[in-house]
Amino acid sequence: MLLALVILVLAGALALGAAAALTRAQTARLETRFPPAGDVVAVDGGAIHLVRLGADPAAADRPAVLLLHGAPGCGADLRPLGQRLAARLPVLIADRPGSGWSRRLGGDGDAALGRQAELIRGAVRAVGARRLIVVGHSFGGSVALRYALDYPGEVAGLALINPATHPRPGGLKWFQAAAEVLLTGPLFTHTLATPLSLAALETATARMFAPEPLPPGYLGTSALALAMTPDRFRDTMQDFKLLRGELAAQAPRYAALAVPTVLVVGEADATVPAAIHGEVLARDAPAIRVVRIAKAGHMLHHGHVDRVAEEVARLAEAAPALSSAVGSGL
C-alpha cells in the first residue's frame, strides 16, 4: 500500500515536471513567434505596449483613437480595425496591463479597472496624445468606460463594442471562487494551463465568433495563443476574478457619463449578451447612441469591421479640432 502510494506520488511529480518543461518550451516558442510590434512604454508601476498607426498623435489636429482589447487576448486582435481608422486618424493600440507585452508590477491590485485605465493613460500621455476617442471591446469596454468616467476631460468620444458593463446575474459564487484559486495558482499556471489551453484554443475561439465563422488565419494574426502563457494566463484569470465586484462598483456611475458615446452590439452575441450588459448600460445612460447589428456575434469588429470603423470615425469627426478644444478651455 505504501509502495503504491510512493509510486503514485513519483509518477505525479514526473508528469508535472514534464508538463512544466512543455510549458516553458511552448512559452519560448510563442514569445518568439509573437514579439512586440510597437513600443513598450515605461509607466509608473508597469510597462504598456503601444502600437502606433497613422499620424503622430502628438502632432495631429484630431483626437487619437485608443483601442482596448478584450480578455483573453492582446492588442493584435484590434489591428484590422486600427488599420481601417489609421487612414484618417492617429491610432494607438494598447495591450492591457498583464496582456500581450504589457506588464503590471503591482500585483493583483493592478487588475482593477481604474488601475488599468491609469496605467494605459500614463503610456498614452507619454507618447503625446492629448485627447482620445477611446474604443473598447468586451473586457476592454469595461476599461474604456472607466477611462471615460475617470478622465472625461481627456476623452472626446467613447465607442463600446459588445462591452462587459454589469455583473452577470446569478452564478455559483462558491464554485467560481474555488475555480479562481485553482486557475491562478502557480502549480496550475506553470504546468497544465498552457498546454491544455492551446489544445482547446481553436474550438473555444470559434465559439466566441459564433454564429459568424472564425476568419481564416485569425489565430496567427491575433497572437491569441500568447495569452495562454503562464504569467499572461494568470493575469487574465485575475482580471476575471475581480471583474464582478469591479463592475458592481462602477455601474452606479454610468448615469453621470458625460462623454459622447456609441454602443455597438451584436444581437447574436452569446459571450457578453447585450441584454444583461450593453442594453442595461443604454438604459442607465440614455444619451448613448445604440447601433444593433443583426445576426452578429461577439467578435463583430472582424465580421463588421467597416461598420465599426465608420461609427468610430463618426465620433472623431464630431469632436472639435484640438486647436479649438484648447482655445475653448476643454
pLDDT at residue 170 tops 70: no
Which domains are delineated in the chain? 33-327 (3.40.50.1820)
Contact 159, 264 (CB under 8 A): yes
pLDDT at residue 193 tops 80: yes
DSSP 63: P
Question: How do residues 71-122 score in pLDDT, each as one tens digit?
Answer: 999 999 999 999 999 999 999 999 999 999 999 887 778 899 999 999 999 9
Please tell me the predicted confidence (pLDDT) of residue 324: 47
Q: What is the pTM assigned to this prediction? A: 0.90
Contact 73, 205 (CB under 8 A): no
Residue 170 identity: G
CA atoms within 13 A on the CB side of 140: 30
Question: How do residues 3-13 score in pLDDT, each as one tens digit?
Answer: 554 555 445 55
Average pLDDT of the chain is 87
pLDDT at residue 129 tops 60: yes
pLDDT at residue 328 tops 50: no
Higher pLDDT, 150 or 17: 150
Average pLDDT over residues 184-204: 85
Please tell me the predicted confidence (pLDDT) of residue 326: 42
Question: How do residues 23-64 score in pLDDT, each as one tens digit?
Answer: 888 888 999 999 999 999 999 888 999 999 987 777 667 899
What Rg do the C-alpha atoms of the chain give, in angstroms? 20
pLDDT at residue 22 tops 90: no
